[in-house]
A and B are shown apart, each in its own frame.
Chain A
Amino acid sequence: MAERNGMVEKRGSGLWLTHLGLIIGVAFIFFPIWLAFVASTVDQQDIVRPPMPLLPGDKFFENYGRALVSGVNAPVATMLWNSLVMALGIALGKIAISLLSAFAIVYFRFPGRKVFFWLIFLTLMLPVEVRIVPTFEVIANFGMLNSYSGLILPLIASATATFLFRQFFMTVPDELAEAARVDGAKPMRFFFDILLPMSRTNIAALFVILFIYGWNQYLWPLLITTDPEMNTIVMGIKQMFPSGDDFAHWPTIMATSILAMVPPVIVVIGMQKLFIRGLVESEK
């Protein structure tokens, strides 16, 4: 950092203005979340008679307890569980199948390898949103509506992760595979004993990105979980709004919104280094 301490650096009033600008930015980012938190700790009466207070009230445990245990259509605890299963299923499932196929296309010569590689390339960046109607029909025909496999499988049907692992395997020195082969190690032995431990950081970084991707899904769970007991938390929030002219029960809804944010935020902050690495690598 020494070379950054040069003459371009602002001191005195310039420095304070810089901090001020950043603090305004942070405040803008935080404000909606702060309001949601405040709303989750006050009474419905405090909200329906605007303006609502800007400091937290004393109904924290009451509101969160009610949301978790009874919710509106289904207990939020159930929705949290569904989201967790979906996010873990997507992250782990995609990592597992991608590791295996990336290993195959990098370390073997087999018929159809080229075709397979291009098929993989085709699936890059075509989001589930553009093929929802036919995918929905497939899931319905398999009887997978309102099931975890229906939530998970269509979202792991893309090969972004395969592509990343392929790139990484290409950088692994050939000598390692050479040595393993000379020692008479079977391919799967090489995969589990050498390649997998070497990929640890990449796997973790990808896990962070995929977990958030899975947790934050909205459209797909909205379509295929008609049973409130199978709703995920992110899509379940909208279902808590009454359809008519009634007042929505804001403290419960805001408590649920906060609960929906907490797991992915913990993952991002707790694994910040891996998260940044995962982002940069999965996008570039």
Chain B
Amino acid sequence: MEKRVTFKGIWLPLLLVLPQILITAVFFFYPAGQAIWQSLFIPDPFGLSMQWVGLGNFEFLLSDRFYRASFLTTAIFSILVTVVSMGVALYLAVLADRLIKGSGTYRTLLIWPYAVAPAVAGVLWLFMFNTRVGVVTWYLGILGYDWNHVLNEGEAMGLVVVASAWGRISYNFLFFLAGLQAIPKSVVEAAAIDGARFWTRFRTIVWPLLSPTTFFLLVVNIIYAFFETFGVIHTITSGGPQQATTILVYKVYSDGFVGQDLGSSAAQSVILLVIVSILTVVQFKYIERRVHY
């Protein structure tokens, strides 16, 4: 797409794009380039010189037990977050869509947790499940269950998953509700006249028609789980216990800033860069076109 009508001039447009060029060059392209460059070196212990190792950092990472474990952790974590938050959101959206009156009220009640920062969500859930003062922990104790996410890896993972999914329900709910309301009611009613019960109608008509929304949300939620849940992990578990909740982004941070292993951290950044690029391409290329009915 091109505009037919344009203004004349070369210096003015260059001046107009200058602020963006400068800021993106200094704070985006230069650091991204640095990450790629640094990933090819190992700094000496005193930080005085860099030793060229080629793809050594990557080879080391991919053979590193902890890094591969972190990959697996990230995969489990993002799948769980995506499934939990999309599942709950779809359930609520289907219910809200059945209402003639009042779906707007529920929408208002359900969307605002979107505004709660992941880190704040983390603190809220940490408070409920705190091993010493948490209300849920206490009631679980009454029921005879000894909750301790500080020691138990499964419980730690469960807690960060729920806290991450919780804040994301609003977002998914909005898109699912919009998707459901866009389905022509005549189609659903025709099936009802033919005698299809609710579940059959949902499975054979609503779900397929909703697939563009579902696939879009799938990618967006995976990106969210990969990158934006740092705050949840950092506030609740700090990656523990025994790195059970160390997702890839958390590892870039803990190796780079806490462990000061710059070469490895840079190589991890590059791997993340590749992953996010692939996800972005998938989002732009396939989702708009492949999913149709």
Contact for B185 among A6, A36, A104, CB less than 8 A? A6
B17 in contact with A104 (CB, 8 Å): yes
| Main secondary structure on B side of the interface with A | helix
Q: What is the bound-complex CA distance between A108 and B257, given in angstroms? A: 44
Contacts across chains A and B counted by CB atoms under 8 Å? 311
Q: What is the bound-complex CA distance between A15 and B9, given in angstroms? A: 64
Name the residue of chain B whose CB is nearest to the CB of A83: B117
Asked if A204 is an interface residue, CB under 8 A from chain B, the answer is no
Q: Mark B1-14, 1 if CB is under 8 A from A, else 0.
A: 10111110110111
B163 CB to closest chain A CB, in angstroms? Answer: 8
B228 in contact with A107 (CB, 8 Å): no
B98 in contact with A124 (CB, 8 Å): no
Asked if A267 is an interface residue, CB under 8 A from chain B, the answer is yes
Most central of A1, A9, A22 by chain B CB within 10 Å: A22
A134 in contact with B230 (CB, 8 Å): no
A217 CB to closest chain B CB, in angstroms? Answer: 8
Number of interface residues of B (CB under 8 A): 103
A134 in contact with B34 (CB, 8 Å): yes
A101 in contact with B32 (CB, 8 Å): no
Asked if A265 is an interface residue, CB under 8 A from chain B, the answer is yes
Contact for A4 among B100, B118, B127, B227, CB less than 8 A? B100
Measured between beta carbons, the chain A residues less than 8 angstroms from B249 are 129-130
Q: What is the bound-complex CA distance between A279 and B227, given in angstroms? A: 18
B268 CB to closest chain A CB, in angstroms? Answer: 9
Name the residue of chain B whose CB is nearest to the CB of A6: B189
Contact for A32 among B24, B128, B133, B189, CB less than 8 A? B128
A8 in contact with B192 (CB, 8 Å): yes
Asked if B72 is an interface residue, CB under 8 A from chain A, the answer is no
B70 CB to closest chain A CB, in angstroms? Answer: 14
List 7 contacting pairs A-B, 8 Å CB cutoff, sorted by A: A10-B98, A51-B138, A105-B13, A126-B277, A131-B273, A153-B27, A264-B115
Chain B residues within 8 Å of A, Cβ to Cβ: 1, 3-7, 9-10, 12-14, 16-17, 19-21, 23-24, 26-35, 38, 88, 91-92, 95-96, 98-100, 102, 106, 108-121, 123-125, 127-128, 132-135, 137-139, 166, 169-171, 174-175, 178, 185-186, 188-189, 192-193, 201, 216, 220, 223, 227-228, 230-231, 234-235, 249, 252-253, 256-257, 262, 265-266, 269, 272-273, 276-277, 279-280
